[in-house]
Structure 1
Amino acid sequence: MYRRLSSILFPVMTLLLIGAAYWGYQEHQEKNSILIKAENQYQRAFHDLTYHVEQLHQQLGNTLAVNSTSQSYHRKGLVNVWRLTSQAQNEINQLPLTLLPFNEAGDFLSRIANFAYKTSVRDLTKQPLTPDEFKTMKTLYANSEQISKDLVNMQQKVLDNKLRWMDVEIAIASEKTNQDNVIVDGFKTVDKKVSEYPEINWGPSVTSMYQKRTFKALSGKMATSEDIKKQAVKFTSSSNAEVRVVENAKGTEYASYSATVNEGKNKNLQMDFTKKGGQLLWFMNPRDIGEKKIDLEKAKASADTFLDKHGFAEMQAISYDMHSNMGAFTYVSKQSGVLIYPDKLTVKVALDTGETVALQANDYVYEHHKRKLPSPIIAKAEARKALNPEMKVQNEQLALINNELGEEVLCYEYTGKINGSLYRVYINSETGLEESIEEMSPYDSKVASDK
């Protein structure tokens, strides 16, 4: 009996053993294939990065070499600098550098890209490069040469020693901090050199992009935790609720308060206020939301009522989005009939009951103030000539927007349909040129037209 059983089980076990070995071999092959593919991708990205930084240096040199009055070549050169820098940033993102201190070099390339882009998009025939901008380009030319040389040296070592990028990940993950790795050490060296560069004059449009918002610019006195508690009670109309207030970033220019209003039955409303001025930054009612029962019109009416109730006057909805049975309306303020796009906030409405459950007002808090609006220089009819003749205009109004240089400009906003899609087109009210264009959803058009 045992002999008969063994005669049956032995072939079965043999087959299972062979199958397991084959499966293990296949898994090993697939793993090796993935590793080879990743290694090839890393190698390609690194060598492309080295090439594009070298090209960036050359392009900066070419742009500086032409006559200072050659505006057309300056624009072409700066566009190429922006393109090359953007490619280099993309290649950095493909490398396993998340745990390496390469932030300084990445930030440096980002600033070069923004400097080149913002300088090239302006009309250089009317606003040619300034002496300060030429000085900045000369500094960038010298700095990019040093970075390029360091990367080329690294590249040569990688090729000569047949180094693998997969070993970089092992070196980064290793707890042995004194472990040598040519690539890791090379990137650390580049980043350290970049961090030691003297301060560069990037110009106001680029500098403003990297300035962190602080509460210093806000008006009003410093609020106490007791002031915030009163505001939270007033905002939620919960006079009998328990309110807990916590100060964040105490003693810094980013100081703020977080307030939690406990209304019982596990209902906790959450809010953040600025310490200076005690202004509401955001509000949230983190409740579960049921099935959608409220349509767009009722949801918007709820959002409008919420803003009116809490003192956000003269606001107009400009866009709508829906996610997880929650409708999000974006509003901008109005001043003398002009839409002020920098003064932006978002209201979220639960589509089960129509209750407003969230408010995000950071941009509004930082940007809202009374503005001295300029008068349009060109008439509507003249500005309209800049539109595509095939565009069927549905609405036109004045709007203040931020242009690509981060400057506030007064525009004619035209809403219309072309090629089967809805668009907003912004025509500069001073120059008659297009400042911006954006595609709209049917919901955007509907909420924006419901004034």
Structure 2
Amino acid sequence: MYRRLSIVMFPILVVALIGAGVWGYLEHQEKNAILIKAENQYQRAFHDLSFHVDRLHNELGNTLAINTASQDSYKKGLVNVWRITNQAQSEISQLPLSLLPFNKTGEFLANMSNFAYRAAVRDLNKQPLNQEEMATLNALYTHADEISKDLRGMQNKVLANNLRWMDVEMALATEKEPLDNTIIDGFQTVDKKVSEYSDVKWSPSIMNLFQTRDMKMLSGNDVTADEVKQKAATFLNIDPSALQVVENGAGSEYHSFSVSANRGNNPGGIQMDYSTKGGQLLWFSADREVPEKKLDFRRARDAAAEFLDSHDFKNMTAVAYDEYSNNANITFASRDNNMINYLDKVAVKVAMDNGEIIGLQATDYVFDHKERQLKAPKLTQEEARKVLNPNFKVDGEAMALIRNDMKEEVQCYQYTGKINGGIYKIFINADTGAEEKIEHVRKEDQQVQT
């Protein structure tokens, strides 16, 4: 009996064993293929980074060699510096350096990119580079050379010793101490040098581009968890005992309170965040399933506007509209007479079955809402209109306060109109006549604004 059973089972076991071996071999091959592909991508990004930093040094040298009176050539050189710096930043992001302190070098390249961009887009005939900016440009040229030499030295070691980036990723992931990896040591050396560059003077406008929001920017006194609970209870019109409050980031720049509450059978419940300074509501969410759509966009907009008005967001006007999953997401900006302030923005989420407000994002409003003393524009509306494309048919005009690409607050004339079959908003700087921003207006955005 056992002999007969073994005769039957032996071929089956042999086939199973061979199958397991083949499967294991294929899995091993597939894993190796993935590792090889990742290694090749890391190697390409690293060698491209070395190449582009070298190019950056050369381009800075070329720009400094140009006579500053040759504004077109100077502008071209600065644009090339900006473009190459962005490429270098992209390549850094492709390397497994997220766990490795390399932030100073990334910050240095980002500042260099924005320095070059700001200088390139302005009218150098009217506003040439000043002595401090020229000194900064010379310092960037010197330091780009230092970084390039360090990267080329690392590159030679990588090629000579056949070093693998997958070993870097493994060392970072396992947090081995000390991290005695040639590549890791090289990047740490570069980052330490960059952190000691004291001769590069970035302008305040450059530094403003990277300014992060923190609670110190807000006015008012610090609030307690109990005070936040009472504020949230008033906002939701429920008993405070139904709320739970958790303190976030104590001692950090973004110190806040999170409030939560159950909401029947809704697993998500209600979530809210308040600032510790001033106790202002940053965002609110009471998401739920919205099974059907009964309201049109106008009724949804009116419900959102009424909600904002009842919660002290005064003089708001709808400027953008999105709709998905039977929810309307409507963005409002504050309006004072004929001035639309796009800095004071809030977004309201409306359930399209019954008009219930199930979400609010007010962070922009909280941090940017303040009294501003705006100067009278230097250009008249008629003078600003002359900047527009002659084929642009204007349907509406207003004053607007926006933040441009340089993160500067600028007062503009906003012209809404049609060209090439589309509807656009064009923002003309009310002092300089520069086209600060152009936005395509979707049909839904146009409808909600009427």
Q: CA RMSD in A?
A: 2.8
How far apart, CA to CA, are the structure 2 residues paired with 1:233 and 1:174? 46
Shift of 1:275: 3.1
How far apart, CA to CA, are the structure 2 residues paired with 1:269 and 1:91? 41
SS in structure 1 at match of 2:209? helix
In structure 2, stretches of 5+ residues that fail to align are none
SS in structure 2 at match of 1:210? coil
* Letter of the 1:295 counterpart: D
1:206 and 2:206 aligned: yes
- Counterpart position of 2:373: 372
- Counterpart position of 1:441: 442
8 A contact 2:335–2:341 mirrored in 1: yes
How far apart, CA to CA, are the structure 1 residues paired with 2:270 and 2:304? 17
Shift of 1:105: 1.2
In structure 1, stretches of 5+ residues that fail to align are none
After superposition, the Cα gap between the structure-2 partners of 1:241 and 1:290, relative to the gap in structure 1 and judged at 3 Å, is farther
- Counterpart position of 2:407: 406
Question: Deviation per CA, 1:334-388, whole angstroms, max 9, x where unpaired?
Answer: 1231111111111111233221112111111121123233334434444334333
Between 8-17 and 290-299, report the one with greater CA deviation.
Answer: 8-17
How far apart, CA to CA, are the structure 1 residues paired with 2:220 and 2:179? 54
Question: Percent identity over the alignment?
Answer: 54
8 A contact 1:238–1:263 mirrored in 2: no
8 A contact 1:219–1:276 mirrored in 2: yes
SS in structure 2 at match of 1:183? helix
8 A contact 2:136–2:199 mirrored in 1: no
8 A contact 1:330–1:344 mirrored in 2: yes
After superposition, the Cα gap between the structure-2 partners of 1:138 and 1:217, relative to the gap in structure 1 and judged at 3 Å, is same
- Counterpart position of 1:345: 346
How far apart, CA to CA, are the structure 2 residues paired with 1:127 and 1:253? 37
1:357 and 2:358 aligned: yes
Question: Deviation per CA, 1:149-207, whole angstroms, max 9, x where unpaired?
Answer: 11000001111112222222222234532353211211121122222322742112211
- Counterpart position of 1:297: 298
- Structure 1 residue ranges (4+ consecutive) displaced by more than 6 angstroms after TM superposition: 1-9, 262-267
Shift of 1:124: 1.3
After superposition, the Cα gap between the structure-2 partners of 1:264 and 1:54, relative to the gap in structure 1 and judged at 3 Å, is same
1:279 and 2:283 aligned: no
- Counterpart position of 2:193: 193
8 A contact 1:426–1:435 mirrored in 2: yes
* Letter of the 1:445 counterpart: Q
- Counterpart position of 2:184: 184
1:235 and 2:235 aligned: yes
Between 83-92 and 170-179, report the one with greater CA deviation.
Answer: 170-179
8 A contact 2:218–2:277 mirrored in 1: yes
- Counterpart position of 2:330: 329
8 A contact 1:57–1:141 mirrored in 2: yes
What is the 5 A alignment of 1:38-437? 38-178=38-178, 180-198=180-198, 200-238=200-238, 242-250=242-250, 254-260=254-260, 269-437=270-438
8 A contact 1:241–1:263 mirrored in 2: no
After superposition, the Cα gap between the structure-2 partners of 1:184 and 1:239, relative to the gap in structure 1 and judged at 3 Å, is closer
8 A contact 1:242–1:263 mirrored in 2: no
SS in structure 1 at match of 2:35? helix
Question: Could you state the TM-score of these two structures normalised by the residue count of structure 2?
Answer: 0.89
Between 16-25 and 67-76, report the one with greater CA deviation.
Answer: 16-25
Between 414-423 and 165-174, report the one with greater CA deviation.
Answer: 414-423
Shift of 1:290: 3.6
After superposition, the Cα gap between the structure-2 partners of 1:238 and 1:95, relative to the gap in structure 1 and judged at 3 Å, is same
8 A contact 2:416–2:423 mirrored in 1: yes
Shift of 1:261: 5.6
Question: Deviation per CA, 1:307-337, whole angstroms, max 9, x where unpaired?
Answer: 0111111111111223444321111111231
Question: Could you state the TM-score of these two structures normalised by the residue count of structure 1?
Answer: 0.89
How far apart, CA to CA, are the structure 2 residues paired with 1:383 and 1:179? 60
Shift of 1:83: 0.7
8 A contact 1:307–1:313 mirrored in 2: yes
SS in structure 2 at match of 1:76? helix
- Counterpart position of 1:25: 25
8 A contact 1:241–1:261 mirrored in 2: no
8 A contact 1:320–1:327 mirrored in 2: yes
